[in-house]
């Protein structure tokens, strides 16, 4: 018999070892004796495998069998389950295929069975698809080698074609949108991309000018048949041709081009044609020569060329063809996009006395426009030919005198009187005749001196025009001063020309005006003449002693002349101007020298429009009383003064405005100064160069230099003084001016004094406070790109070497260098403010200093905001107080300091806060403090009260020079219970407290600091019990949250610090008491301080750092110092955990 036992249990498939023994038996009784020893037999179950790992169909129809093969026949049926893997790209259930139901069975005694995959044919062009079949665990068998089979179904459908649905379309008008549709011949199983370009022959302009359109390519999603190109039409008012946008289809992806691959969109123009008109109906020439234009002007620009034909009317009295004139050939063309074109007539001079002649031009029917209001223009050619009449004292009467010759019947309009050299003791009157009276030998030898009566030497009083010319005389009234003993008198709408004359020595009795030239109800053109000119023979009167002009009927023009040595007891020693509507005075290329008066030594402008240009000059003009304006005084609501290219030198006022004084104007442009130079002007009180008072709109000064201004013992604003008057400076230099009191460069007061400065400089000025710029009351300053440098307080207690501001100051991209506040108790070397300071862009503060705090900036109340990453404070210092760069004190109110992205380098404070000292709340972002130092506390930063927040900042090699152990904080010092400091994601490297406490941070009496994810390395202190990094007094505390504190060698790292929350901190080379509970102590493997991204330098962790993935995520910050997200799986173990310190390692 057989006795069998199973030592190891068999598997479900029947595998296992079977042990047995043999013994004897007759079927009833066993034989005596023992059975044989153990024998063993191994039972092996069959295996099943797929017949192949993969197969590919020829197309997407038919059936694909998948054979399951058994290694050997079995006495039992084998069941094989299977599933379709989710990574399969074909869809079952009758969409792409059907498959045999799972499981299949291999019958007992058999070795194979099939899984059948029946393919479903479609017409969709698509990628080849897969059916991935995974074998499950079989019954009565084990899985063999191949348990996954991939069937690839080969797509046999062609790619579709794509076309534009139409080849063209036209819009209804010049707005809205139009669509161009790309369409497939059949839906595709793939995304079809259709690129396109705009054909260069298109006449419309894209980019939003005539239209904008969808970006190329467009995509037809799988399963869809269309996609649209959208063209958005830009409306305009331009009459133009219809325009086209021609779109060409490129080579599509997953499709082929069909029949229509180009589409032409026509944008239909709907703007009306403009009207064309002559700009004026008539004009008259000044003389019988030169060129004149008749301008044809469109009501609006057109997109087409507008052709304007014209003819000369037969009623014209002038003869063309080169006899009296030449004229442009007809027609003229106004180019597309332009609005004007000119007909030019060139006048042919002759010597024929013939009277004025006319050329009458009629407009014809224009092309691409309609006729407007004025279609006829009459040009009158003034005849300038007249008789030449010799006048000389030796001639027979009446030609021995100027006046009798004028009165002679033979002297008519156009006549020229040629006067020989000599002295003519007579008075003359032009008697309404437009004639020329000319000295043959010039003014130096030809004199008209009057007839010794109380009357002018020359009179224009009968409506003479600009062709009435006085040329080349000296006009010197020899009569005793009277009420009318003037040089020249102009009235009754007369408008003569005065040329090459000298008008001097004319004197009026007390209270009379206009000794040289008197204009009342007329005007004049004054060319190349001298009005005044001799110190011993002045024009003298009360007002306007050179020229007095009131009730002007036309523009007064003065060119290339000299106005000098005119003396007034009232206003306007040189020129007096009084308002009359909108008439103006134009002065060009004229010199004003040594004119005197009460207001406006050179010019007094009472409400008129005054323009000065062409290298005019103002030298040594002065006022000895009145309100001011050594050179120019402008007053009145309508007064407007524009000055370009002039020089002002050595002008003086006993009150305000050594050069210019402006008051009371409400004009849009009260004063505009450009390309001018002001040198060594003086005012006893205010504004040696320019003084402004109670002006509504802004004075503008551009590309101008103001230098060397000075004043008396009470002077302010030696460069510019403004009271309740806005001021805009552009590219202007206000340099080296000196005030006895405030505002050596600029002084401003009042809410209306909104000061805007762009570019230029305010440098080298001196005053008690605000030596560069002084802002009091509600005046405000906005400066962009300006250099403010080398301004120095002349008072030992003066504040604001560069700027003193009682109100807000906003500086963008400015440069402040070497400004100095008072040497004893001055504050704010660059800026002192009692309100607010805002720094935008990239500002630099270098070498500024103050004795009593704030080497660069001192804020007595309000807030300071240092925005952006470009603000740099370098080498600023104090000589006897705190805040080497910035000192913010609350002044009785809460102050706030916001510092973003700034760099503080090498700043120094005699007391505390080498970089900054803040009384009040402070927020510091992305700042760098390097090499700053102080004598006592806080080599970089001293938060004196309030709550301070520091984010993503770096403190490097800041230090104290103290030899006392009571001070501390190589980087930061804080004290008292009202002080709270919170530090986030920041790095402290190489800071030193000297003999003081806390190489990096010292939290003294009752002060509290919370430090999150920050790194401290190699900070030092030589205090008798040195605490090289973080020191809190017995009543203060410092809490660490995931902080890294490390030293190159064994050192005492912390005193009275603790763990914050559930954080994990790292201490390395700590020979003292632990900084915090639950700290790790391994090597952080820190790299040197470097630019690792972000706005501040950091110390990167290296591979294997003990800080890596070691922090407490519950108290970890969401980003690191660089702004990168936390946590990251630094050690690549599959679990992302925050790193300790300021740097998050990214593998």
The model's pLDDT over 898-925, given as tens digits with 9 standing for 90+, comes to 898 899 999 999 999 999 988 888 999 9
> Is the pLDDT at 12 greater than 80, yes or no?
no
Does residue 191 belong to any structural domain of this protein?
Answer: yes
Average pLDDT over residues 968-991: 90
How does pLDDT run across 829-863, given as a tens digit for each residue?
A: 999 999 889 999 999 999 999 999 999 999 998 88
% of the chain surpassing 90 pLDDT: 83
Q: Which of 44-53, 496-505, 739-748 has the lowest mean pLDDT?
A: 44-53
Average pLDDT over residues 611-633: 95
For residues 801 and 846, membership in a common domain is answered with: yes
Helix (H) or strand (E) holding 237: none
Does residue 697 belong to any structural domain of this protein?
Answer: no
DSSP symbols for 1019-1064: -B--SSS---SEEE-TT-EEEEES-EEEEEEEE--EESEEE-TT--
Cβ contact 1041:1009 at 8 Å? no
Bridge pairing between strands 39-43 and 16-22: antiparallel
How does pLDDT run across 646-662, given as a tens digit for each residue?
A: 999 999 999 999 999 99
Q: Which of 138-142, 325-329, 577-581 has the lowest mean pLDDT?
A: 577-581
* DSSP β-bridge partners for residue 705: 677, 733
Q: How many domains does the chain have?
A: 6
> Is the pLDDT at 1096 greater than 60, yes or no?
yes
Q: Which of 215-229, 379-393, 1083-1097 has the lowest mean pLDDT?
A: 379-393
28 confidence band (pLDDT: 50, 70, 90): low
> Is the pLDDT at 42 greater than 70, yes or no?
no
CA distance 1092 to 1101: 11
Residue identified by tokens 């003064």 is 641
Candidates 1147, 1146, 1060, 1139; CA nearest to 1106 is 1139
CA distance 1028 to 992: 8
Average pLDDT over residues 790-811: 95
pLDDT at 724: 94
Helix (H) or strand (E) holding 445: none
> Is the pLDDT at 8 greater than 50, yes or no?
no
For residues 1027 and 1143, membership in a common domain is answered with: yes
> Is the pLDDT at 730 greater than 80, yes or no?
yes
* DSSP β-bridge partners for residue 1137: 1128
For residues 248 and 360, membership in a common domain is answered with: no
Does residue 406 belong to any structural domain of this protein?
Answer: no
Would you call 402 helix, strand, or coil by DSSP? helix
For residues 912 and 1060, membership in a common domain is answered with: no
CA distance 1094 to 206: 40
Q: Within 10 Å of residue 728's Cβ, how many Cβ atoms?
A: 18
Q: Which residue among 232, 248, 267 closes a domain?
A: 267
For residues 1004 and 1098, membership in a common domain is answered with: yes
Q: Within 10 Å of residue 743's Cβ, how many Cβ atoms?
A: 34
Range of the domain at 11: 2-43
For residues 22 and 77, membership in a common domain is answered with: no
Please name the residues in contact with 976: beta carbons below 8 A apart, sequence gap of 6 or more.
Answer: 945, 1004, 1005, 1006, 1007
For residues 958 and 1079, membership in a common domain is answered with: yes
CA distance 628 to 647: 18
Q: Which residue among 243, 267, 291 closes a domain?
A: 267
Look at the alpha carbons of 276, 282, 285, 289 in this order and tell me if their dihedral is positive or negative: positive
Burial string for 1016-1030 (b: 16+ CB within 10 Å, else e) reads: bbbbbbebeebbbbb
Q: Tell me the CATH number at 369.
A: 2.60.40.2030
For residues 20 and 67, membership in a common domain is answered with: no
pLDDT at 382: 81
For residues 63 and 203, membership in a common domain is answered with: no
9 confidence band (pLDDT: 50, 70, 90): very low
How does pLDDT run across 347-369, given as a tens digit for each residue?
A: 998 877 677 899 999 999 999 99
Q: Within 10 Å of residue 741's Cβ, how many Cβ atoms?
A: 24
Does residue 408 belong to any structural domain of this protein?
Answer: no
pLDDT at 567: 94
CA distance 973 to 982: 13
Does residue 677 belong to any structural domain of this protein?
Answer: no
90 confidence band (pLDDT: 50, 70, 90): very high
Does residue 73 belong to any structural domain of this protein?
Answer: yes
CA distance 527 to 902: 59
Mean pLDDT, rounded, of the chain: 92
Cβ contact 998:1027 at 8 Å? yes
pLDDT at 338: 93
pLDDT at 918: 85
For residues 288 and 351, membership in a common domain is answered with: yes
pLDDT at 23: 54
> Is the pLDDT at 1078 greater than 90, yes or no?
no
For residues 100 and 33, membership in a common domain is answered with: no
Q: Which of 163-167, 353-357, 721-725 has the lowest mean pLDDT?
A: 353-357
Burial class of residue 744 (count of CB atoms within 10 Å of its CB; 0-12, 13-18, 19+): buried
Does residue 1084 belong to any structural domain of this protein?
Answer: yes
- Let me know how long the chain is: 1147
Q: Which residue among 127, 153, 179 closes a domain?
A: 153
For residues 137 and 228, membership in a common domain is answered with: no
Bridge pairing between strands 446-448 and 422-424: parallel
pTM score, whole prediction: 0.69
CA distance 1144 to 1131: 11
Average pLDDT over residues 877-891: 89
Does residue 28 belong to any structural domain of this protein?
Answer: yes
pLDDT at 2: 46
> Is the pLDDT at 22 greater than 70, yes or no?
no
40 confidence band (pLDDT: 50, 70, 90): low
């Amino acid at each position: 018999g057989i006795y069998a036992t199973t030592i190891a249990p068999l598997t479900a498939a029947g595998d296992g070892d079977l042990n047995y023994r043999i013994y004897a038996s007759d079927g009833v009784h066993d034989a005596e004796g023992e059975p044989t020893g153990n024998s063993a037999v191994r039972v092996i179950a069959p295996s099943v495998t797929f017949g192949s790992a993969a197969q590919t169909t020829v197309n997407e129809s038919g059936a694909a069998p998948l054979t399951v093969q058994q290694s050997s026949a079995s006495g039992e049926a084998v069941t094989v389950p299977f599933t379709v893997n989710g990574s399969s790209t074909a869809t079952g259930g009758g969409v792409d295929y059907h498959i045999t139901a799972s499981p299949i069975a291999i019958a007992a005694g058999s070795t194979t069975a099939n899984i059948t995959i029946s393919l479903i044919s479609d017409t969709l062009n698509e990628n080849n698809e897969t059916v991935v079949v995974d074998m499950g665990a079989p019954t009565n068998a084990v899985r063999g080698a191949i348990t996954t089979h991939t069937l690839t179904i080969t797509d046999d459908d062609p790619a579709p074609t794509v076309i534009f649905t139409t080849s063209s379309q036209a819009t209804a008008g010049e707005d809205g949108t139009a669509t161009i549709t790309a369409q497939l011949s059949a839906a595709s199983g793939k995304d079809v991309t259709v690129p396109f370009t705009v054909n260069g022959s298109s006449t419309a302009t894209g980019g939003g000018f005539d239209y904008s359109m969808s970006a190329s390519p467009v995509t037809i999603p799988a399963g869809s048949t269309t996609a649209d190109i959208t063209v958005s039409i830009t409306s305009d008012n331009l009459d133009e041709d219809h325009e086209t946008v021609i779109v060409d289809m490129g080579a599509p992806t997953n499709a082929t081009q069909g029949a229509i691959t180009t589409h032409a969109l026509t944008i239909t123009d709907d703007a009306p044609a403009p009207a064309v008109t002559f700009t004026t109906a008539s004009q008259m020439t000044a003389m019988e020569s030169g060129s004149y234009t008749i301008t044809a002007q469109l009501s609006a620009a057109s997109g087409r060329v507008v052709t304007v034909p014209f003819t000369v009317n037969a009623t014209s009295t002038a003869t063309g063809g080169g006899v009296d004139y030449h004229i442009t050939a007809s027609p003229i063309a106004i180019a597309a996009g332009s609005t004007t074109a000119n007909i030019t007539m060139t006048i042919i001079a002759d010597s024929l006395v013939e009277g004025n002649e006319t050329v009458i031009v009629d407009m014809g029917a224009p092309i691409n426009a309609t006729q407007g209001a004025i279609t006829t223009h009459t040009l009158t050619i003034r005849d300038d030919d007249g008789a030449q009449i010799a006048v000389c004292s030796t001639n027979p009467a009446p030609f021995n005198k100027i006046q009798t010759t004028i009165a002679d019947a033979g002297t008519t309009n156009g006549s020229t009187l040629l006067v020989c050299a000599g002295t003519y003791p007579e008075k003359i009157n032009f008697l309404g005749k437009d004639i020329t009276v000319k000295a043959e030998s010039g003014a130096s030898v030809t004199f008209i001196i009057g007839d010794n009566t109380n009357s002018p030497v020359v009179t224009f009083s009968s409506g003479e025009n600009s062709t009435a010319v006085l040329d080349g005389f000296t006009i010197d009234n020899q009569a005793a001063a009277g009420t009318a003993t003037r040089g020249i008198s102009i009235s009754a709408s007369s408008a003569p020309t005065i040329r090459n004359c000298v008008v001097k020595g004319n004197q009026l009795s007390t209270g009379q005006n206009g000794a040289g030239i008197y204009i009342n109800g007329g005007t004049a053109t004054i060319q190349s003449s001298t009005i005044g000119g001799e110190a011993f023979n002045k024009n003298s009167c009360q007002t306007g002693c050179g020229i007095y002009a009131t009730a002007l009927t036309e523009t007064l023009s003065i060119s290339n002349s000299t106005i000098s040595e005119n003396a007034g007891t009232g206003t306007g020693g040189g020129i007096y101007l009084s308002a009359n509507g909108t008439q103006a005075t134009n002065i060009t290329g004229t010199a004003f020298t040594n004119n005197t008066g009460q207001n406006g030594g050179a010019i007094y402008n009472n409400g008129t429009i005054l323009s000065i240009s062409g290298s005019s000059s103002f030298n040594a003009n002065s006022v000895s009383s009145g309100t001011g304006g050594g050179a120019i005084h402008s007053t009145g609501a309508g007064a407007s003064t524009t000055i370009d290219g002039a020089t002002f030198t050595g002008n003086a006022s006993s009150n305000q405005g050594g050069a210019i004084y402006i008051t009371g104007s409400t004009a849009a442009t009260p004063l505009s100064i450009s390309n001018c130079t002001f040198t060594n002007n003086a005012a006893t009180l205010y504004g040696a160069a320019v003084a402004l008072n109670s002006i509504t709109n802004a004075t503008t000064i551009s590309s101008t230099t103001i230098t060397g201004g000075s004043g008396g013992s009470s002077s302010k604003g030696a460069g510019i003084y403004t009271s309740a008057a806005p001021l805009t400076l552009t590219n202007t230099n206000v340099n080296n001016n000196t005030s006895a009191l405030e505002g050596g460069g600029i002084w401003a007061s009042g809410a209306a004094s909104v000061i805007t400065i762009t570019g230029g400089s305010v440098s080298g000025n001196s005053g008690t406070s605000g030596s560069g710029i002084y802002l009091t009351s509600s005046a405000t300053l906005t400066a962009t790109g300006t250099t403010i440098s080398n301004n120095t307080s002349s008072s030992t207690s003066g504040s604001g070497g560069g700027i003193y501001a009682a109100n807000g100051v906003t500086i963008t991209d400015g440069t402040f260098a070497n400004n100095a506040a008072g040497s004893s108790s001055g504050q704010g070397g660059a800026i002192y403010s009692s309100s607010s300071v805002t720094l935008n862009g990239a500002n630099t503060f270098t070498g500024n200093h103050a004795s009593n705090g704030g080497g660069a900036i001192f804020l007595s109340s309000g807030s300071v905001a240092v925005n952006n990453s470009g603000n740099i404070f370098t080498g600023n210092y104090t000589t006897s107080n705190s805040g080497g760069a910035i000192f913010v004190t609350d002044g009785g109110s809460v102050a706030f300091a916001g510092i973003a992205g700034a760099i503080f380098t090498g700043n120094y404070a005699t007391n505390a806060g080498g970089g900054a000292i803040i009384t009040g709340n402070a927020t510091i972002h992305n700042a760098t403090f390097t090499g700053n130092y102080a004598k006592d506390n806080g080599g970089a930063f001293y938060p004196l009260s309030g709550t301070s927040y520091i984010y993503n900042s770096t403190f490097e090699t800041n230090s104290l020079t103290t030899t006392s152990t009571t001070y501390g904080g190589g980087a930061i010092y804080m004290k008292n219970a009202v002080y709270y400091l919170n530090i986030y994601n920041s790095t402290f490297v190489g800071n030193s407290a000297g003999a003081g406490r806390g190489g990096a941070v010292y939290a003294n009496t009752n002060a509290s600091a919370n430090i999150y994810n920050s790194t401290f390395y190699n900070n030092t202190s030589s205090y008798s019990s040195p605490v090289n990094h973080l020191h809190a007094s017995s009543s203060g505390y410092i809490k660490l949250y995931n902080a890294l504190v490390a030293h190159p060698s064994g050192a005492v790292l912390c005193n009275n610090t603790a763990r914050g929350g559930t954080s994990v901190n790292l201490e390395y080379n700590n020979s003292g008491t632990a900084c915090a509970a639950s700290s790790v102590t391994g090597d952080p493997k820190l790299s040197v301080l470097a630019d690792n991204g972000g706005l501040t330098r950091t110390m990167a962790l290296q591979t294997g750092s003990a800080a890596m993935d070691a922090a407490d995520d519950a108290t970890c910050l969401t980003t690191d110092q660089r702004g990168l997200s936390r946590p990251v799986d630094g050690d690549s173990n599959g679990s992302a955990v925050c790193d300790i310190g300021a740097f998050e390692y990214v593998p």
